[in-house]
């Protein structure tokens, strides 16, 4: 099966729409989202509505959970907290009900799905090989997908027990047929790897291959919506730099 893996939409509807258009071009059969439909962007309802229509699997991220009240906003940084409080005030009842139905991990699929990590599906940022190895030790499937860090990454432990990992630039393809893997598709709505294009990952579970993809989208539109909503201006500015 060809699966579109994506994460960290963060209320950025123009980016989400652009990614799904690219997904359609590839012929992916399903769309799996690893969480954070809402957060820093100005269109939580639009993103949730689109996810309900298009995502076959959707997890809850920490930004979703703070909006539903399952996480305390005091656990967030200043700008993240400001965005969370704004989202709480502006999100519609239907979108909120959908977010409340989501969980931060799922074991019902051929690969492990976690918003953040197998060890801590809500909060852990997996950015190093040693972290990835510890997470692999906890996974039952040999392959897992994570989001949360906003950075496109891959980690692998081969059949000899040697582990490595690196950032994944757009266009990178990897053969996943052997070894253990932890894959991060990067962020749809707020990339933080110095590439402002929206990120996602095409996974083929028959060929066991992965391709990281990047998509141009109208950043001006997303940034203008953030400023018009009265959200912190820095949340608009960072979209242009990808950090």
CA 19, CA 13: separation in Å to the nearest integer?
10
The Cα–Cα gap between 229 and 96 comes to 19
Q: At what angle do helices 233-241 and 78-90 cross, to 10 degrees?
A: 110
pLDDT score for 234: 96
Inter-residue contact 213 to 197 (CB < 8 Å): no
Q: In angstroms, how far is the first alpha carbon of the chain from the final one?
A: 33
Instruction: Delimit the domains of the chain by residue range.
Output: 2-241
Supply the pTM of this predicted model: 0.96
Q: Quick one: pLDDT at residue 171?
A: 96
Question: Tokens in use for 7?
Answer: 């994460």
Strand partners, 198: 215
Both structure tokens of 78? 């200043």
CA distances 98 to 45, 66, 222, 237, Å, are 10, 14, 23, 29
DSSP string, 60-89: --HHHHHHHTSS-GGGS-HHHHHHHHHHHH
Report yes or no: 19 and 45 within 8 Å, Cβ to Cβ.
no
Q: Give 108's DSSP letter.
A: S
SS3 of 224, please? helix
Q: Are 232 and 79 in contact (CB under 8 A)?
A: yes
> What's residue 65's pLDDT?
98
State the pLDDT at residue 202. 98
Q: Which CA distances in Å does 159 have to 26, 73, 106, 131, 236? A: 31, 42, 25, 18, 44
Q: What is the pLDDT along the chain (243 residues), one digit of tens a residue?
A: 999 999 999 999 999 999 999 999 999 999 999 999 999 999 999 999 999 999 999 999 999 999 999 999 998 999 999 999 999 999 999 999 999 999 999 988 999 999 999 999 999 999 999 999 999 999 999 999 999 999 999 999 999 999 999 999 999 999 999 999 999 999 999 999 999 999 999 999 999 999 999 999 999 999 999 999 999 999 999 999 998
Which pLDDT value is given to residue 199? 98
- pLDDT computed for residue 213 by the predictor: 98
Return the pLDDT at 240: 97
Return the pLDDT at 238: 96
Calpha distance 120→60 (Å, rounded):
13
Beta-strand runs (E) in 82-135 = 105-106, 112-114
Superfamily for domain range 2-241: Metallo-dependent phosphatases (3.60.21.10)
């Amino acid at each position: 099966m060809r699966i579109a893996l994506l994460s960290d939409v963060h209320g950025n509807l123009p980016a989400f729409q652009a990614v799904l258009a690219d997904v359609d071009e590839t012929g992916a059969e399903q769309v799996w989202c690893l969480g954070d439909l809402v957060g820093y962007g100005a269109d939580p309802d639009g993103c949730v509505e689109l996810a309900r229509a298009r995502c076959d699997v959707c997890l809850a991220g920490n930004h979703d959970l703070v909006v539903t009240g399952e996480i305390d906003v005091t656990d967030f940084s200043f700008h993240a907290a400001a965005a969370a409080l704004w989202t709480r005030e502006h999100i519609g009842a239907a979108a909120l009900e959908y977010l409340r139905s989501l969980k931060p991990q799922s074991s019902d699929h051929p690969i492990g799905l976690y918003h953040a990590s197998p060890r801590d599906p809500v909060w852990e940022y997996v950015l190093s090989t040693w972290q990835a190895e510890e997470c692999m030790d906890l996974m039952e499937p040999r392959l897992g997908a994570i989001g949360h860090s906003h950075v496109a990454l891959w980690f692998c432990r081969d059949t000899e027990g040697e582990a490595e990992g690196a950032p994944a630039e757009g266009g990178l393809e990897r053969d996943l047929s052997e070894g253990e893997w932890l894959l991060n598709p990067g962020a749809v709505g707020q990339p933080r790897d110095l590439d402002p294009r929206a990120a996602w990952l095409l996974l083929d579970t028959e060929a066991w291959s992965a391709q990281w993809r990047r998509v141009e989208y109208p950043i001006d539109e997303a940034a203008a919506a953030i400023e018009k909503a009265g959200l912190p201006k820095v949340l608009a500015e960072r979209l242009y730099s990808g950090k």
